[in-house]
Structures are given as C-alpha cells and as structure tokens.
Structure 1
Amino acid sequence: MNGSLVGRATELSRLVRVLEAAAAGTAGVALVGGDAGIGKTRLTTELVAEARERGFRVLVGQCAELGDTLPYLPLADALRGAEPAVAAAAAAHPLLGQLLPGTETAPQAGLTQQRLFGSLLGLLNEVQPVLFVIEDLHWADRSTRDLLVFLSRMVQTERVCVAGTYRTDDIHRRHPLRSVLAELKRLPTVTSVELGPLGTGEMSDYVSTLGSVAARDLGLIITRADGNPFYAEELFAALAEGDDLPDGLASLLMSRVEVLSEPGQRVLRAAAVAGRRVEDELLREVSGLPLPEFEEAVREIVSRGLLRVHGQGYAFRHALLQEAVYNDLLPGERTRLHAAFARLLTSPAELAHHHLAGHDLAGALAASAEAGRQAERLGAPAEAHNHYDRALGLWDRVDRAEELAGETRETIAFRSAVAAADSGDNHRAVTALRALPQTSEVSERLAYYLAEIDHLDAAVVAAEHAVATASDQVSLARALATHARALMWTPRHAEVEELAHRALDTARRAGAKDAETSAQLILALYTELHHGLTKAHDLVRLVTTERTGDLAMDLRARFHHARIHYDQGLMAQAAEVADAGIRLAYETGLNWSTYGTELRFLRFLIHYASGDWDQAEAVASGFAARVGTIPEATLSSFALFIEVGRGSPAVESRLEWLSPFRHDQFIAYMFRGLAAEHALWKGDPATALDHVRAALGALVAGDAASIRIAAVGLWALAELGTTDGADDLLATARHAAESGIVGERVQMGPEGQAWALRAEAEWHRVHGRSDPELWRQVAGAFSFFPYEEARARWRLAEALLASGDRTAAEAEWSRADATATRLRAEPLRRALADLARRARFGGGGTDGLLTAREQEVLGLVAEGLTNKEIAGRLFIAQKTVSVHVSNILAKLDVSTRTQAAAIARRDGLIP
C-alpha cells in the first residue's frame, strides 16, 4: 500500500465526522460502497489510523467468500485479532468467548443469537470508544447481516462507530445485502459513502506515488485503469516487470501470476482454493512441497506483492486476485485441492464447503449436519437452518445418510424448522413442520408457531394432537401448556384454567421446569383477566423465586411480575422487580431480546407513572424518532408520553415519523391517543377528536385501552362545547370497563379504574356539570400517578370555583401546580397558570381581577341583560356599562358576553 491517500479527502472527512460524533457520545454507522479495487479498504485503513490517534479501540473483521457457511466470521476475525485488553474483556462474555481461539463450544440455553448480540453490545460499552470495521459485507453471512442491522439500530449514546465496506458491482437485484442496505440507509445514524472512479488528475497523482514512470506509460495506465486504483497498481507492476499489457483485468492479474516459478504458482493456486486467507501450515500441507521449496515459493509470492503476511498465515492482497487465480483452475485441479483441504480441516462449516466443492457428497452431508449443530450453539439460527437444509438436500444422494448425519432425517428436519423460527421465519417453520410425521414434539412446536402468527384455530388443532400423542410426561406437560396458550384468545378460553392446572401438575411430576413456568404464566394471565390482579400476582411471584434454566422463560416471568405490580399501582415494587429482570437480561446478554426490551419499556413507564420524569426522559432519549419498522415505531411511540407531557418541540417530528405505522393496532392507540392530547394542549379540540375516533376504530371493542381514549375524547367535546357523541364515548368506556376481549367481566387494576372514573367526570363536564366530588374521586384514584393526579386536581379546582368554594379551589390548584412544576409538565403548568390568572389565586381574591362594579355588571351580563337594561338596573350611563363590559372581556381574555358569563360561573367570579 502506498503511503498517501489521493483523491478521497471528501469521503474521508465524512467518515471522520462519524468518528467524531461517536467520540462525543452519538454512535454512528458508516457504509462504504464501491466497485472492486476502487479503494474501500484503503479508505477504511485511513479511518482506522485516525481512530487510533483519537484513542479508539479498533476491531477489524473480514467476511469471506463462503456465503452463509461460517456464521459471525468477521466478528470472530475481529476478536481474534483484537488487542489483549479487548480480547480479555470478550473472554469474560461466555458467548463471545466461544469465538476466540482454543475455546470449546458448549451447548447454550435458548435465545442464543439475542444473547450474543447483547454480549457484543456489552463488550462495546466496556471498551468504548471503539471502531468496529466489517470488510466485504457483500460476502456476509445472514447472522452477520442481522448483527449489522442490530448495531445500526441499537447503538445510540455509546461511543461506538461501526464501518462496513461492500462491492457495489456485486450487489445484484436479488443479493441479500441489497434490502439490508436500503433499510439501513434510511436511518439517521447511518452515513453512506459511495466511492466513484478517480479523475484523470487524481489518477496521475496516484500513479506517481507508486514510483517513477515514463509519460507515455503514465498515459497508458490512466487510460486503461479507468479510474480504478487497484487496476492502476496492477498495470504499473506489469509495466515495471517489462510485460505487455493484456486485455481485461483477469488477464492482467494472471499475467503477473504466470511469471512465478512453477512451485510459486502451485502454492498460489492452493491459497486461492483456501479463500482470501490461509494458515501457513495448512497451505504447506495442501501444496505438497518440501518445507525449503515451500518457503522459497512463498517468499517469491510475497516479494511480488501477490500475497501478504497476515498473522500466522497469508492473505491475498486483493480479493480480485484470489478470484482470478481460483477461476483459472482446471475443474479436476480445483476438486483435488478442495478435497485436500477437507482432509486437513476440522471446522464443520469449512469442511462442508470444501467437501461439496470437491464433490464428496457423503463428507458434505456429515459436515453440514455437524455445522448446523455448531451454528445452533453459536447462536446463528439462519446458518443452522441453511446447513441442515443442505444436509437434507443431499440425503437421498448418499448411502448411510442417517449414520453420517448422526441423527434421523426427521430429527434434522425438525432442527431445521426450529432454526428457521428462531431466525424469525415462522412461516417457513410451519411449512417444514407440517411436512413431518406429526409426533407430539412436532405438533407442539407447530402449534406454538401457528399461535405466534395468529393462526389460532390451526394452532388449537395442532396442540390437541400434541396432547393426544404425547409419549411421556415431559412432552405432555409442554403440549398442555401450549394448548392452554393457543386457547387463551379464542371462544374456548374457558378451558384455559383447567388445562393450565393440568399442565402445571404434569410438569411438576415430570420435573419439566420450562413447562411448569410456562403453565404458571398462562394461569397467571388467565387469573388476571378473570379473577383479578392480586391472585395473578401471587401466581407470578412463585415463578420468579428461582431460575428455570430457560432464560427466555425467566425473563418473561419477571416481566409479568413487574407488570402486575405496575397494574396494581405498586410502583416501588414494580421498579424493584423490573430492575432485577433488566440485570438478568444484561448479565445473560439478553438485554435486546423480546422480554429484555419489554422490561426496559416497562421501566420507562414506571419512571413516568411514579413521577420520575427526568429519568423517564433520559430513557426516552434512546428511542429513535426516525423509524423504519413496526418494532422501532412501537419503541418510539413510548417517548410520546414524556414529550407530550412536557410539551417538547420533538413531538411534531416524532408524530410525523410514526404516522406511516398507524395501521398497527398498538401504535394506533399510542400515536392517536397522545396526538389527541397534544392537540388539546395546543387548543385544537377538533383535531383531537379526529384522533380519538380513529384510535377507537383501530381498537377491538372492549379493549381496556378504549377507556383512556374515550376520556380524552370527552375532554375534547367539553372544549368544543358540544354534547354530540358524548354518550357514545361514555358507553365505550363503560363497556371496556365492564367486559374484556374474551367476553367476560374483567377486573381492572387501579389505573384502569381511575381512567373509568375520569371518563365519567369528563362526561359530566361536557354536559356543564362540574361535580367536585366526582373529580375528587378521580384525583384519589390516581394517587399512585402524580401527573394524572395533578390533572384531576386541575379539574377539581375548576369545579370548586364553579361551586363557590374558592378557598378549597386554591388549595387544589396549589397542589396541582406544585406537581406540574416539579415534573416540568409545561402544558399543564400553562393551563394552571391560566386558571390562576382568571381566578386571581394568590393575588388578593376576586377584587384583584374584577372591581366590585365589574362584578355587578358581570352578574347582570350572566343573567342575559343588555347594556341598556344593566344601565337602568344600576342607575349608570349606558356608555359606562359598555366600558365595564369591554374591561371584563379583556380581563377574562374572551371575545363574547356568553363566554365571559360561562368562565365567571366556572371560576367562581360571580355568585
């Protein structure tokens, strides 16, 4: 590599800006694309040097042209080449430690991929600031692509920079990286850098850095290189060696290979079969040369710049050179070399690759089956699925297939289906499982995945078959638990309780801890819906007292335990359990698994509900506003609670980004409900009512979420001064409070009960009846929720003013204002300030707002008298009455006599 970077100052400065942002605490991703040889690696090498100067730890890993054969190859490559401190930190994470040399791979409990991702995120946090470079993403395996997406979306405030390179000329229309790049480039944290050809002047400067060259040859190189630095280097080398310049890059590259001695060519051909990199000892064995002759051949190759020393082996200076040499091999030569590597390798994934390329189908089947099992243990379900499918594809072409695979065809197919589901493809898993003999184990998994994709009727049928065909108590326990789960949201939900109890008893007798926990959680959910939160809490508490060995189940149990505390209004207890669950998720690398994420969502809500708004805002700052998927939109929507409550200017942007995802039921509830509140705070009740109607249209009749939405709708109607639709909204709230989706009465927790009370109070307000006692009940019901309690006391103060109890009204106002001030709930503070201004709280009573004469005039205005009639009643001039009325309208900040009378009655300014 020459010492200076030519013609890439603009591109490098963009990459350095990403690095600078990461150093300041805003993580980022840079994707560098360009044709082969255009200078991607040279550019990232400069970035690496810049990062080291700035004190960054650097990890560099490279993908290989083995497709999905070797999962997480660049991550393993990066960790193996990491500095000792980083390698030691990685070894402390068991799943990352498996990727280090000399580490035995042990079986892992489920959710291995999520645990691996979480472990890597933990490592990056520990060693930050860090630059992680992944080269040649066009060759990345599925799990590495998933890892890139994970890091791009999840690193937010960490001092982490991720950089990836890829060949644009290899990204054809159906290339698996193409959709990933399209998805990532929409993210605000991702910077895309495309390298084009160098210009004529830049190419001239670049070639001059390679050495002295005659003017005629310089012009020839620039013309032939077409702006590609690597091509220019090869042309320069060929001219320097006195060769003619052949047509085409492949011919040019091979012309440099052909000048090697016969042993040198032999060694280089073997290296090309190994791939981009190869260990010294392995290359010597495959070449078949005596050690002195081998070393002389390697020295020749390295001196000509075709291979470079890399660790304990060698690497091709450029992937194009490896491809050219490989493609030049004769078919038989290629087969024999692959077979030679297969005899010496121990990695199942590499063995499978070389056996297949060497036409050893039996070896390929055996290695593929073992590679699938290894990928499972490494947490690479997509690769496991591919390996198993390859073994299945070879099954009928190989004798003694079962003996070679070490398992039956049905077992391999079952493993393949489960791996497909674990990689997120439940539909493929369902298809594969349906093709298998329906044993209890197969039917149970089929039922589970069918329930996941909401095919509940088919899930129930499969679960019933699993129960009927169970051959042992463990299988029966799991089948019963899945059957109960499948029935939960169907018209047969009444059967769930008995089934769950039966599953629980069976699991305990069989010692099947996972099935026991699953049954207990299903029973708790059923109990919560039908018998109340207290009984459900007792059931869940038992599950969280010990670990089951199934981490997903343990986290699920802790989530529901914390959630039930939250639903009971027991915020301190909910926080304690949620924190314990989050610690467990972090310790096991599952902080980004489904329930690891759900626990953090819940923790945000606990902060929000208990009045710890600064902490809630800090958590919400990690919920990216610019979203591209439903899970991201779901996460983002939670931030609206705190942003709307504090009147943040970020609300409008977040709502705009969430808008395309309003078809999702949960997002519709969050988006519409909080957009309605935002519109109300801005004084736009008509828009708020539109959001309320859209939200209720998206929710299932009887959904408890309807209560809050209906209450907000009634607030909007009160502001609009109309009763049209109020009865329907109250009926919606009452129906949801009295019945659930399952069609039976559901016992709500304190928050649901409080919102139901608020809906009743808002309905009375719509009809002009501000009942202090009802609003007092609402405030008391929200006693565990400071913000909502303060909003209720705001309305209570208004109701007390309207009833003439000014002293009590000011006391309630003061309590609400203190809470709003502490929370920095600006919209509520403004509403309370407006009430204080109109009621003259703290300003010496009513006389501070209206004079005695103005109060007399206002009282007569409220009776409906004209100016002339008021003048006659008070024995003053009609013009004087007009002045008083004008002053009253200005002080009350209204434009009509009717509005003035309404505010005066509401705020107690007149008897």
Structure 2
Amino acid sequence: MTAALIGREHPASVLRAELARATASHGGLVLVTGEAGIGKTTLVTGLADEARERGALVLAGTCWESGSAPGYWPWVQVVRALRRAAEPHEWAAADSATLSALLGESPEPGDAFRLHDAVTSALITLSHDRPVVVVLDDLHWADPASLRLLDFAARHTWFERLLLIGTYRDVEVEAPGHPLHQLVLPLVAKATTVTLTGLDPAQVAELMGRTAGTDPGAELAADVHRRTGGNPFFVEQTARLWRSGSPVSAVAPGVADALQRRLSLLPAQVADLLSDAAVLGREFSLHLLAAVAGAPVPQVDHLLGQAIATRLVVALGEGRFAFAHDLVRESRYAGLGIEGAARRHAAVADSDLVGPAERARHAYLAGALVEPARTVELLLAATRDASARLAIEESIGHLRRALERAPTVRTRAVVELELGTVLWRVDDKDEAWEHFEGAVTAVRELDDAELLARAGLTLARVDPGGARHELVSGLLLEAHRRLCAGTPAEQLSLDRVTLELTARAAMLARDDEDDHALAFSLWARHDAIWGPGSGAERERLTDELAAIARRTGDRENEYFASSLKWVALLEQGDPRYLEQFRSFQALTENSGLRGAELAAKIDRSIICALHGRFADSDAALQQALDAHLGLSEREFGFMGDQLRWSALLLQGRFAELADLPARMSDAGHSHPGLLRALAAAHAGDAAATRELLAEATAEAPYSREFTPLWLRCQAQAAAVLADRPAAERLLAELAPYSGEWLVSLYGCDLSGPVDLWTGLLAATLGDHDLAVDLFTAAARSADRLRARPWSIEARSHLATAYQNLGDTTRAAELFDTVTAEATSLGMHHIPARVRSARTEPLPLNEFRRTDSVWCLRYSGHETRVPDSKGLRDLHSLLGRPGTDVPAVRLLSPEADFAPTFTGTPVLDDTAKAAYRHRLTELDAAIDHATTLGNDTRAATLDTERAALLTELRTSSGLAGRTRRLGDESERARKAVTARIRDAIRKLADLHPTLADHLHATITTGSSCSYHPPTPTPWRL
C-alpha cells in the first residue's frame, strides 16, 4: 500500500493493523483526518487495494460538496455496491424493501432506525462470508443523516468482520460552529483517528523529484516546504509548474482555489488579523501583531487560537507564531493592496518591538508613509546590526537601500562612504572606489569642510598609502587647512595632519551633539595614533566610544571598544587588562551577534597563548574558524593564519610556521617578508636573518598596525647580526617605552615587553649590567600580566646576561629553571637556546666596573683600578667599536643630543619650550608608572627627566645667555681627550699590554673612536 506514498509509513501501518484485525476477528471505525490535499484519499485508496488483495469486499461512497445531493448520498453508493456484490440469497435475507427505499426504488421507510438497522444488518450478513471494508470519503460534506447512520453502524458492528473508514477535513468540521461539529464528536470518541500532517523537507524533495522527474535540490525543496507546509497536493502542483519553467513562487489554480475555500471559512475578524500578520512575515510575535492591529493582546490571542484550530497558524512558544504555509501569508498580503500594506509597514517601523533589520525593512516598504531621512536612519542602524552579526551581504543590501532613499546630497555622501568601506572590506575595490568618488564629488558640491574631513579620513583608513594616495592626501590637507588653525598643513607630516584633523573633527561632533560623527572621529583617531606610547590615549578613547555606543544602542561598537580597551591596557603593562578581557567575554556571551562572538573567540585564543595555554589557544582559534564558516573568505582574510603564526612563533615551532607567510600573502597579508625575517631572527639564524631582513626592509614603509612588529623584528635582527649601529638606534627609539608592550594588528599579535627587546639591544652593545636590569624588568612585567611564555623568554636572556657578567652560579640556576618551564609549556626553542648559551665561550677580555672599582683583563693579565671619567669614556668606546662618538656625548653621556653644526645655539627657544612640554609629560607618566607599581618604568622616565634638566642647564651660559654649539664642542674635545690620555697613561704602569692596545686603537678629538685591527670581544 505504501509503495507509492511518501512520508506516510506510520499512518499506513496503523490502517494495515486495523485491516488485519477486521480480517481475522472484529473490525471497528477508523477516521483519517487532515487538511485539503494532505493525502487522505490517496492513503485510504491504497488500503482499499490491499483489502481486495486479501479477499475483503470493499464498498465505497463519496460525499458531494453540492448541497443538492439527496440524503444518505454516500450510503446510497455503498448500498448499490452492496447489492451488486451480494448473492441473491444474501439480498433476499436483507430488509430489501427498506434498502430499496434508500435507493429511491420504493417508498421511504417509516423511520430512520429501520433504515440504519437495515443497512447495518446487510453489512453484517455480507461479513459472515468475507471481511467487509466500507470507505466513506469527504465526510466534511456529508449530510447529518449519513453521519448518524455511520455512528449507528459503528456501535453495532464491533464484533463483526467489518471495518468502517471515514475521511474528513478536521480543520473545518471540528471548528466550533460547523453544522457537523456535534455529530463528529461522538464518532471521534469511538474511532481510531489517523491525522495526516505535511511532509518534511526531505520528503518534499522526493515528491518533487517523482512528480517533475528532476531532483530539485535541498535548497529549493526547503523553499517549497516553507511555502506549502509540506501539503502533498500543493507540492505536486508546485512541482508541475516548476517542471514547466515557472518559478516555485507561482501559485497553481488548484492550490489557489483550495486556499481561498479554506480562508473563506474563517470569521471576518480572524481573516483581518491574518492580513495584519502577513505584513510581519512568516513568523511574528503576539504583542507586535496586537500593536499593528490596534487591538488588545487578549483579543488577538483569542483570534489566533481560532487560526491555530484551522491549522493556518502554528504556535512556536513564548508568544511567537508562524503561518503554516507561506502561501496563506502571501494570499492575505496580496489582498491588502499597496496602500493597505504600506500603512501596516509604517506601523511596524514605528514600533520598538522589532529589531533594527525588521524596522528598516518595514520603513523601506512603507514608502512615502515614512520620511526618507527616518528610513535612512533606520537602514544605517540595521547596517551596524548586520555588521555585528557578520552578515556582510545584508549590510550591503541595507546600504544600497539607504542610498536609494537618501533625501539630501549630504546624506548620500555619508551613505556612499559607508557603502564603499564595506565593499572595500570584502575586496570589491572597483565598486568601492565608484562610491568613494561619488562621495567626494558630493562633498565638493556641498563645500562642506567637516564632510570633507570625514571623506579624507575614511579613505585614509581603508587604503593607507595606496594607489590613490595623492587623492587621499589632498583631501586631508584641504580639510586641515579649512578646519585646523595653527601650523599650515604643508609644513606638517601627513600623520600629524591626520591627528590634528581627528581631534578637530571630534570637537566639532561634540559641539553638534552628533554621536555618529563623534564615534567615527574617535575610531579614526584610535587607528591613526596606533603604535608604541599610545596605549593610555587609546584607553581613554575606548571608554568614550563604549559610552557613545551604549547611548546610541550600537552594540557592535560597544563590544569592539570593550575588546580594544583590554588591548590598550595590556600595551601599557597594566594587569587590569585581564579584568577588562573577562568583562568583554561576559558582554559578548549569548549576545546573538556573530561578529562579537567571533571576536570573543579570537581574543580568547590570543589570551590563552599569552598565558602559555597553547592547547586551549588552538581550540579557541578552531572555534573561531568554525564560527567563520559561511562567511566570506575575503572578510576573514589572513587573520586566522596570523594568529596561528604568532602562537607557533612563541612556541618556537619554526618548521610548522614556515609555509604560513606565503599563504597569508595569498589571502591579502601585505608583509610576508616581515614575518619570515622575524621568524629567522627568533630562531637565531644569522644567515637567513640577514637575507630576509633585506626583504622585510623592502616592504617598508609599514602601516601603524604593523609598526610594533617591525620594531621587534629589527631589534631581534640587530641582536642576531651583532649590528651595533642598529642596536644603538633602536635602543634610543625604544627606550622611551620602557614598561610597555609591543602590540600589533589591533591585538592580534603580542610581541612581548619593550624591556625585553631593549635588554637584548643593551646586551648587543656589551652593556650587560643594563641588560640585566632590563631583562629583570621584562620578566617582572610578564609575571604581572601572567604571561608565562614571555617571562620565560625574558629570564632565558637574563641568564645569558648573568653569564656574560661572570655570575655563572646565578646563570646556571636560571638556565635550569627556564629550561624546565619551557619544556612543560612546549616552547621548543628555549632549551636549544640554553644549550647554545652554556657552551658558548666567554670573552677573554674584560672592561667592567663594580661599584667604584674597574676590573680590567686583557691578554691573560688582570688588574683592578679605581673609577675615573677617563675609564668611563674608554668603556663607552670599547662598546662601540668602529663607531665615531662625539666628544660632547662622552662629556655628558646622559644628554640626548649629538650636535653636527657649530656656531649655532645649542637649544633655541622652540626647542626649550618642547623640552619643558616633555618634562610636563614625563611628570604625569612617572606618576602613572608609580601607581601601577612599575618602578623600572618610573626610573627610566626619571632618568630621561634628569637628562632634560641637565640639558636645559647646560644650554645656558652666564646670565641665562644661550650657549653656542661651537663653544660646547671645543670644551668637550679638550676635556675628553685629556681624560682618556690620563687614563691610558695610568694604565701603562698597571697593565702595559692593555695600555699599548688602547693607545694604538683609540683616537680622540671632536669625535672619538675605537678601531682594533681585528675584532676584539669584551665583557663590558
């Protein structure tokens, strides 16, 4: 029976069981129910065929929809079939007169009981010889008398081999008020009821394939299931239209008639309510529907109950409902007309009960009934919401609609900038530039300086240093001229122009109380200042951005401000970063915003790696990649591989990360050479570092988000290559950021504490005492931040510094400790580095001070001498072999200047003012570092402060006159030359060999230098 049926295995098995029971011993009543087209007749027809195969007599009657049918019409058909099938003696034994009356062949019987008994007796008589199956189809059209006869027969044939089967549309008959409602209830009470429902999507696909002869595919089948509710008749009709070339959205005439008949049975109030609901979409909420209908919630709930009873609507729970078929919704929506639908869409757009995307959609569909400016505002809010859910295509759709409805040239320019930015993010750069150029044209037409600044800042953010650099710089310079007073833009760097412009744009946005413009300006400034030393300002910016986001309901920006705040705190070496990170994780949990939840997984991966939980980091990254599935690869780009590369580098798994830079380059990474050079330097491979550093240098200039990574790369390369000039330059560049961390790519790469890299540079210059201080500070900073891998990195170098100072006991203890810790974390390169350091021969020569005594060893002979300025000068020169050191620097080593001109003021008034401004900044920074307990950072800043004060004092002569550089250089030349010569002269008696070496290799004058004929290593 079920071979030709789809999705009806269970109902068919129930009918088959009832047939088996009737064939063997006794029968009963079975009612097959369901909506029109659901497959009741097909199912029962299949059972009838199987009954005949088993030798049963099948008698059938079908009710007639027309009210003109005679009474007992389905039974008339049954009795006619009975007479044809009965043997003469069986017919004679029956109450033939009464049966003939039923057939219209004799006068009417005197009462209904006699008729019911006659029909029932005849059926019983037939069942003595063989099982009998009576099928009454479409009982929803039956007359009351026919139902009463069915009830009588069911009551009196329970122990006979007689199976009674009826089919009807329960959603119609069982609805209160239907004329047959009270007659059906007694039948249902004594019957086995089989209720047919719609097919599932897979069964719809199978039925469509069987009907159309072509597999529709899962997506199309799901669409048809959604539209038809899985009703087999609707599915077949749709499949036939689809096979003929029509879209599945077309409605077959038979389906339309069935829907119209069904809807016509609804009370007017229910039908009107469904029309209101049709505007809301396939699913809708009770309270929103009540708001649109303008009716009390209890009344709407009651009317929905009637729609549920007719199976036109289903309850989803928690006050949400859905149309059973999209076809029902579409038919109600079509009946509203354009004006009626627009009026209802406008009502939804004014409601706070729907999300941003729905409000924007309804505002757009409401047409002129919603002000264009309001529609654009809602569409932009929906864009931000979609972006937070990583629904990029949806964002683009909202922006295209906003562009279509933009009421002014200014609005159009803003929307085109937004649309161009999103298109740029998904690598659709050609169309993006079309919109950017459209925005610039509109801006110039308006002659709006603030909008000009926004256009320039937007283009600078999306394409820094790109092919249209001239256009971008022109916009920024013009905007700066018009908005910023002070130094002319042409005399400033483009970076400075951008910074001043972001500050001015933010101020104007605050004056105008324009939160959206303010948020844009602050984000532009956040990105423009990225780099070492900007953490404190970025912390303040993220606080304000989060406040703006909460004020405007911009959840996406609230989450990202929260994320970037922990990055800013970590960059400052502030342990509060961990509390902020946890706050961000809690904020995004169950947010429903895919972008925020993806960012939380990425951040968790970064923090786990920072803490040395590399397996957890891998798992979190995999979760992020899994969450990324379905997104545009262009949108996610190389970030997954960048995170993996950073974690692998921290573990020293160089072979595994070797292929990642090339793969990242294919995904849009602009600096694969930087990654290769840094990996080589971290591995300590001097030959590869020298070669790859050239490649990385060729990739310069680096954008701000990559600058910290580039600084780290240069520092490690200088150490590996023993490049003293580079080490000096980088030490001076990085020293002001002592106590901070190098953070790149908005937190996606954490490159450790600055003190680690300055310590490495100090060790390269032979200043191992300073290296010890810096490595110790780096380890303490890493410990405060719970960054175990970086603590191990710092202490491994600290052990080497102790060894270079001759403190082998402390070095050995530290080597053992870091080796054990590194092994437990899986940092493979640390044990190898320790083995190499332990076997590396120590320098045979020493020029090192302890307190006020110098230990000098050369050519196997050692002596100790008291401290003097000349020895300090020699120490400086030995640490910079082959380098000319100005005498003024040796005279005042704490001063941070190296004059190259003579006869000019040492410091002019502008320089003095700058020094005083820097002193004010240093005072604030020292207070901040002291508050954090970062004594090393405070001491470094205090040293700089003392040097500046010394410089200010030495730049003035008698009565405050400005001292001239020529005077200072000459004084330094004489003083330093005398000091050095005196120190060498005194060494001649204590260590003649060393004195001879220094006399031959040291030159003095305006610049002094140490030039040994062959490389001479020193422990300094």
Q: Please report the TM-score for the alignment, with normalisation by the length of structure 1.
A: 0.45
Higher gyration radius (CA): 2
More contact order relative to length (CA 8 Å, sep ≥ 6): 1
Q: Please report the TM-score for the alignment, with normalisation by the length of structure 2.
A: 0.41
